[in-house]
Amino acid sequence: MAKEKKQPRPKAVTPKGFRDYFGTEVTERTHMLSQIAEVYHRYGFEALETSAVETVEALGKFLPDVDRPNEGVFAWQEDDKDWVALRYDLTAPLARVAAQYRNDLPSPYRRYAMGPVWRNEKPGPGRFRQFYQCDADTVGAATVAADAEICAMLSDTLETVGIPRGDYIVRVNNRKVLNGVMEVAGVLDPSNPDALVEERGIVLRAIDKFDKFGEDGVRLLMGKGRLDESGDFTKGAGLSDEQADIVMGFMTARRDTGAATAARLRELVGASVVGNEGVNELEYMAELLDAQGYGADRILIDPSVVRGLGYYTGPVFEAELTFEILDEKGRPRQFGSVSGGGRYDDLVKRFTGQEVPATGVSIGVDRLLAALRAKGRMGSVATGPVVVTVMDKDRMADYQAMVAELRNAGIRAEVYLGNPKNFGNQLKYADKRNSPIAIIEGGSEKENGVVQIKDLILGAQIAANATLDEWKERPSQYEVPRSELVAKVREILESQGK
Amino acid sequence: MAKEKKQPRPKAVTPKGFRDYFGTEVTERTHMLSQIAEVYHRYGFEALETSAVETVEALGKFLPDVDRPNEGVFAWQEDDKDWVALRYDLTAPLARVAAQYRNDLPSPYRRYAMGPVWRNEKPGPGRFRQFYQCDADTVGAATVAADAEICAMLSDTLETVGIPRGDYIVRVNNRKVLNGVMEVAGVLDPSNPDALVEERGIVLRAIDKFDKFGEDGVRLLMGKGRLDESGDFTKGAGLSDEQADIVMGFMTARRDTGAATAARLRELVGASVVGNEGVNELEYMAELLDAQGYGADRILIDPSVVRGLGYYTGPVFEAELTFEILDEKGRPRQFGSVSGGGRYDDLVKRFTGQEVPATGVSIGVDRLLAALRAKGRMGSVATGPVVVTVMDKDRMADYQAMVAELRNAGIRAEVYLGNPKNFGNQLKYADKRNSPIAIIEGGSEKENGVVQIKDLILGAQIAANATLDEWKERPSQYEVPRSELVAKVREILESQGK
């Protein structure tokens, strides 16, 4: 005999930073995404699915986050020397598509996209290198009516997937207002917009960390800098106290009504042209949303919303879930943000030279699923199939006929296909599958034309809780004529609330 | 002013061998996959979604196809020097999962998986480097009842997505029968199974090309070799005419009934132990399928089915669509295979050393979609949204209110968000979107409390076909009170059959 070559056995492991999804982890996400797609479709958005791979050139300079410049993409070189990479978001491929098909697509082009994206980051607990995004964007609409529409759609989407009104809020702000405030504070010179870019970046990031560091921490970051508990020093923007006051005034400009907030913002932006433009846009969005019935209980003007990404140019928005969950130490805290977006008018320009206005939103799919599970709207243990046990190996055809009848009646069912020798293993299997019912047809049942039907849910309840008398009174196993199999199974499933 | 750095503009192109999917190309696939998932679920299969990335070690030697050994995977090296790659199918990840979670998964483990896979192949027309697969496999069931179940499920799946009975056939064969025939022909020595491996590979591939080359071509490949039209020579297996006769006898062993075919096969395998085992398995599968009502009109024993992959060890099956389509030259031909699979008992062993029986099926998603389009069951032009036009830029809030009403009534609708100056552009946009209806509310309509509703479908029909009299009798534009907007839109959509 020829000698077999021995190779070392490969390890059966998921690559670092990646994960596997089983059963309901897959189907619940699929279900949620289909609900979201239905809302997007009703709003006139069209599906787009680009490939996972883009040329590195097309992905270009739009790295995931300016705050994390070292983190990148999974890239490799093709045989013809071109470099390609896995997409790190769904916006860069949209920009490429909008440029590539600009003569064929309707304008404005409303599109939605759902799918995995990949980030070449250091994996950590709960931090994965492949995850789902779910985006909707409108390309080619200069009016902030497009932004308002996306905010309304975001609100509808959250309610459709199961976040009740009152448990979420969509907050809206406008980068132009912030720029106006920066102008008043002397950190932005409209005649020289490229000066002080670094300082503005620091200010933006500081504002974005308001929730984390509080007013004092943010003021340190806007001024001389901040030393954290570990001894690390974050460089500040070098603003004077007066300058910082102005920016902080913006942060705390929210009033009870949108109109009052807008009025306060108008004071703050003073004579700044861009600042006034921003306030106008906010007021216009509020007016449009109001006309559609979206009040401040759903969509709110909130100047503390900044959004980290540098490329936003006008309205920015984010959806926050306001109900409380317990954190890892058991303390209640708000669930927080599940979605964000805004206007980014320069993204297509790098391909074509033409400025194309665009606005969009991205939903954090895993965050939203986690929220729905926290609300008890998902994540319950899924019911397994009815299991037809194999009492007599030679009568497999009989068992297959039973299971076919059940399936044809729309009932999830299967025959036990492992080694049938040990009947206990079959019941253990049914238990592991979380089966609601087991079917038994041994030789004597066959002879008498009957089957045994075991209600496994009731059986487990009785085993756990019942007294002997109760146990006697509430049988969890029924003998019925073979011809009544489907009807009895259906009756038991209904009694179980399936 | 700081000088802007000029970078060359990136090209907006899909990477070579990849493609983008728009609108119904996405939603029709999603719909079909959800129908398939429903059938799989009813059969007791559980969803599994592994990440796109696997360690190269785990993908190991299972290259896509032994016939194309030079074609490979997209791989790159991690910072820690490990090599990882995009999965090239859904079976290799299943083998990894079955090994990795073997203590937690139920056994048998029925799972389905749907998603893209990637092949680092030379792209060509209609040949893409990313495409969808849709698999169902049972791991841990030694009985061919598991194979029969998958054949039944495949039949149900095809009918569920819209291939009527009679338009498809699931053909079943068994590698063991073929091995028995090889034994009789002297190309397989059971006491030395590693000898003549190359010859058997050539014979397998030759049989697989029966449809393409006919009996003469196959005989050449089994014998001295075959010279094709271009002058390329394919090496033959070197079988004598007598040996080739025996193998060809197997190929043409199909009789009118499964029983007759099995009887003929039993003659052919003679005393071969493995051959008789294979015939027994075929007969057993036929018996089980018969008990479930799957006759030869749906699932057929057909010895000409071989399936290219070397790793199959027992039953093999494939689903063929039998209706005719026109090929690129306008000649009618059968649509052909859309799915295939079989038993591969050795796949998990390389991880654990333990032999784990497994069987499964893979559906070619793009092929099946193409078939449904060829049958007119998909691919009709999708209806666009109702378009609310913008007659007066300053009354955007009114238009948004209309569209919100329509959406809340479940009607797909949008406001035109491009530059509203040129009304013709708005109607052109509605046309490009394939909108069924346009809504118009100018100043005088507003004053009179009415809206104009244009039936764009009827309008296009009239413009194309009607005489002047018909045109007068069949108005395609209606003026209704503003309060009746939703009701009238719904009425028109219904008249359009939406």
ipTM, 2 dp: 0.90
**Integer angstrom CA distances of residue B112 from A23, A264, B7, B155, B161:** 9, 57, 47, 16, 17
What pLDDT score does B264 carry?
A: 92
What pLDDT score does A68 carry?
A: 40
Lookup: tokens for B150: 């998958």
Average pLDDT over residues A13-26: 94
Residue of chain A nearest B383, judged by CA positions: A44
Answer left, alpha or beta for residue A449, where phi above 0 means left and psi between -120 and 50 means alpha.
Answer: left
Confidence band (pLDDT; 50, 70, 90) for A234?
confident
Residue A318 burial (10 A CB sphere; 0-12, 13-18, 19+): buried
pLDDT above 50: residue A391? yes
What pLDDT score does B199 carry?
A: 85
Lookup: tokens for B430: 């509605």
Confidence band (pLDDT; 50, 70, 90) for B210?
confident
Cβ contacts of A398 on chain B, cutoff 8 Å: 291
Quote the CA–CA distance of B319 and B182 in Å, as a whole number.
Answer: 25
Average pLDDT over residues B171-181: 93
pLDDT above 90: residue B66? no
Name the 3-class secondary structure at A46: strand
Name the 3-class secondary structure at B143: coil
Quote the CA–CA distance of B244 and B221 in Å, as a whole number.
Answer: 10
CA neighbor of A309 nearest in space, from A360, A378, A241? A360
Quote the CA–CA distance of B51 and B210 in Å, as a whole number.
Answer: 38
What pLDDT score does A64 carry?
A: 41
What pLDDT score does A256 carry?
A: 83
Quote the CA–CA distance of B23 and B44 in Å, as a whole number.
Answer: 32
Half-sphere exposure of A79 (CA within 13 A, CB side): 10
Cβ contacts of A74 on chain B, cutoff 8 Å: 53, 76
Chain B interface disruption, residue of A3, A11, A354, A400, most B CBs within 10 A: A400
Percent of chain A with pLDDT over 70: 93
Quote the CA–CA distance of A425 and A419 in Å, as a whole number.
Answer: 9
Quote the CA–CA distance of A138 and A344 in Å, as a whole number.
Answer: 10
With tokens 């076909």, the residue in question is: B465
A48 and B20 Cβ atoms separated by less than 8 Å:
yes
Query: Does A11 touch chain B if contact means CB atoms closer than 8 Å?
Result: yes
- The DSSP secondary-structure symbol of B374 reads H
What pLDDT score does A62 carry?
A: 43
Confidence band (pLDDT; 50, 70, 90) for A310?
low
Helices (H) and strands (E) in chain B, counts: 18, 19
Q: Which residues contact B286 (CB under 8 A, 6 or more apart)?
A: B258, B259, B262, B301
CATH code for the domain defined by B16-139+345-382: 3.30.930.10
Q: A393 CA to chain B: closest CA distance, Å?
A: 10
Percent of chain B with pLDDT over 70: 93
Strand intervals (E) in A239-377? 299-301, 315-326, 332-343, 358-364
Average pLDDT over residues B25-44: 96
Percent of chain A with pLDDT over 90: 59
Name the 3-class secondary structure at B443: helix
Q: Which residues contact A21 (CB under 8 A, 6 or more apart)?
A: A29, B47, B48, B49, B50
pLDDT above 70: residue A209? yes
- The DSSP secondary-structure symbol of B405 reads H
Q: B124 CA to chain A: closest CA distance, Å?
A: 15
Residue of chain B nearest A14, judged by CA positions: B54
pLDDT above 90: residue A203? no
Count of Cβ atoms closer than 10 Å to residue B469 Cβ: 8
Query: Does B231 touch chain A if contact means CB atoms closer than 8 Å?
Result: no
CATH code for the domain defined by A386-495: 3.40.50.800
Residue A255 burial (10 A CB sphere; 0-12, 13-18, 19+): middle
What pLDDT score does A9 carry?
A: 86
What pLDDT score does A136 carry?
A: 98
**Integer angstrom CA distances of residue B195 from B186, B188, B189, B208, B345:** 11, 7, 7, 21, 21
Q: What pLDDT digit, counting tens, does each position of A312-356 carry?
A: 889 999 999 999 888 778 888 888 899 999 999 878 888 999 889
Distance linking the first and last C-alpha atoms of chain B: 58
With tokens 């003021």, the residue in question is: A219
The distance from CA B374 to its chain's CA centroid, rounded to whole angstroms, is 14
Query: Does B10 touch chain A if contact means CB atoms closer than 8 Å?
Result: yes
Q: Which residues contact B477 (CB under 8 A, 6 or more apart)?
A: B452, B453, B454, B455, B459
Residue of chain B nearest A146, judged by CA positions: B417
What pLDDT score does A470 carry?
A: 66
pLDDT above 50: residue B21? yes
What pLDDT score does B452 carry?
A: 94
Q: Give chain A's length.
A: 498
CA neighbor of B457 nearest in space, from B410, B482, B489? B489
Whether residues A16 and B78 touch (CB distance < 8 A) is answered with: yes
Longest dimension (CA), chain A: 96
Query: Does B199 touch chain A if contact means CB atoms closer than 8 Å?
Result: no
What pLDDT score does B65 carry?
A: 44
B440 and B478 Cβ atoms separated by less than 8 Å:
no
Region of poorest pLDDT, from A413-422, A452-461, B91-100:
A452-461
B112 and B136 Cβ atoms separated by less than 8 Å:
yes
Quote the CA–CA distance of A389 and A426 in Å, as a whole number.
Answer: 7
What pLDDT score does A92 carry?
A: 92
Lookup: tokens for A88: 């790190």
Confidence band (pLDDT; 50, 70, 90) for A486?
very high
What pLDDT score does A111 carry?
A: 97
Whole-structure pTM value: 0.91
Of residues A374 and B464, more confidence is placed in A374
Count of Cβ atoms closer than 10 Å to residue A278 Cβ: 26
What pLDDT score does A7 carry?
A: 62
H/E element, B478: strand B477-481
Lookup: tokens for A378: 């998902």
pLDDT above 50: residue B260? yes
Quote the CA–CA distance of A84 and A56 in Å, as a whole number.
Answer: 5
What pLDDT score does B311 carry?
A: 78
Average pLDDT over residues A193-200: 84
CA neighbor of A44 nearest in space, from B481, B378, B418, B491? B418
**Integer angstrom CA distances of residue A105 from A102, A424, B432, B456:** 6, 62, 8, 20
With tokens 């699929």, the residue in question is: A30
Q: Which residues contact B256 (CB under 8 A, 6 or more apart)?
A: none
Query: Does B104 touch chain A if contact means CB atoms closer than 8 Å?
Result: no
Whether residues A100 and B148 touch (CB distance < 8 A) is answered with: no
**Mean model confidence pLDDT for chain A:** 89
Cβ contacts of B78 on chain A, cutoff 8 Å: 16
The answer to whether domain B16-139+345-382 and domain B161-306 are alike in fold is yes
Name the 3-class secondary structure at B300: strand
Lookup: tokens for A101: 């098909």
pLDDT above 80: residue B313? yes
Region of poorest pLDDT, from A93-107, A270-284, B159-173, B219-233:
B219-233
Region of poorest pLDDT, from A92-101, B241-250, B463-472:
B463-472
Helix axis angle, B145-161 relative to B24-42, nearest 10°? Answer: 140
Q: A295 CA to chain B: closest CA distance, Å?
A: 13
Lookup: tokens for A152: 């309304």
Residue A325 burial (10 A CB sphere; 0-12, 13-18, 19+): middle
B161-306 is a CATH 3.40.50.300 domain: no
Q: Which of A201-205, A305-309, B175-179, B310-314 has the highest mean pLDDT?
A: B175-179
What pLDDT score does A63 carry?
A: 45
Percent of chain B with pLDDT over 90: 59
Quote the CA–CA distance of B71 and A204 in Å, as a whole number.
Answer: 49
**Integer angstrom CA distances of residue A437 from A413, B41, B350:** 9, 16, 36
Average pLDDT over residues B175-201: 87
H/E element, B336: strand B332-343
CA neighbor of A47 nearest in space, from B497, B29, B19? B29
- The DSSP secondary-structure symbol of B10 reads P
Average pLDDT over residues B121-144: 91
Query: Does B480 touch chain A if contact means CB atoms closer than 8 Å?
Result: no
Lookup: tokens for A248: 């902080």
Of residues B464 and B288, more confidence is placed in B288
Q: Which residues contact B80 (CB under 8 A, 6 or more apart)?
A: A16
Average pLDDT over residues B320-330: 86
Whether residues B11 and A55 touch (CB distance < 8 A) is answered with: yes
Distance linking the first and last C-alpha atoms of chain A: 58
CA neighbor of B130 nearest in space, from A82, A100, A54? A54
Lookup: tokens for B439: 């809504």
Domain ranges in chain B are 16-139+345-382, 161-306, 386-495
pLDDT above 60: residue B320? yes
Quote the CA–CA distance of A462 and A464 in Å, as a whole number.
Answer: 5
Quote the CA–CA distance of A344 and A313 in Å, as a whole number.
Answer: 5
Average pLDDT over residues B130-147: 96
What pLDDT score does A471 carry?
A: 61
Residue of chain A nearest B356, judged by CA positions: A418
Looking at the DSSP bridge assignments, the partners of residue B46 are: B111
**Integer angstrom CA distances of residue B269 from B181, B188, B362:** 5, 12, 29
Residue B172 burial (10 A CB sphere; 0-12, 13-18, 19+): buried
**Mean model confidence pLDDT for chain B:** 89
Quote the CA–CA distance of A297 and A141 in Å, as a whole number.
Answer: 27
B191 and B345 Cβ atoms separated by less than 8 Å:
no
Residues of A numbered 282-321 whose beta carbons fall under 8 angstroms of chain B's beta carbons: which are they?
Answer: 287-288, 290-293
Looking at the DSSP bridge assignments, the partners of residue A316 are: A173, A342
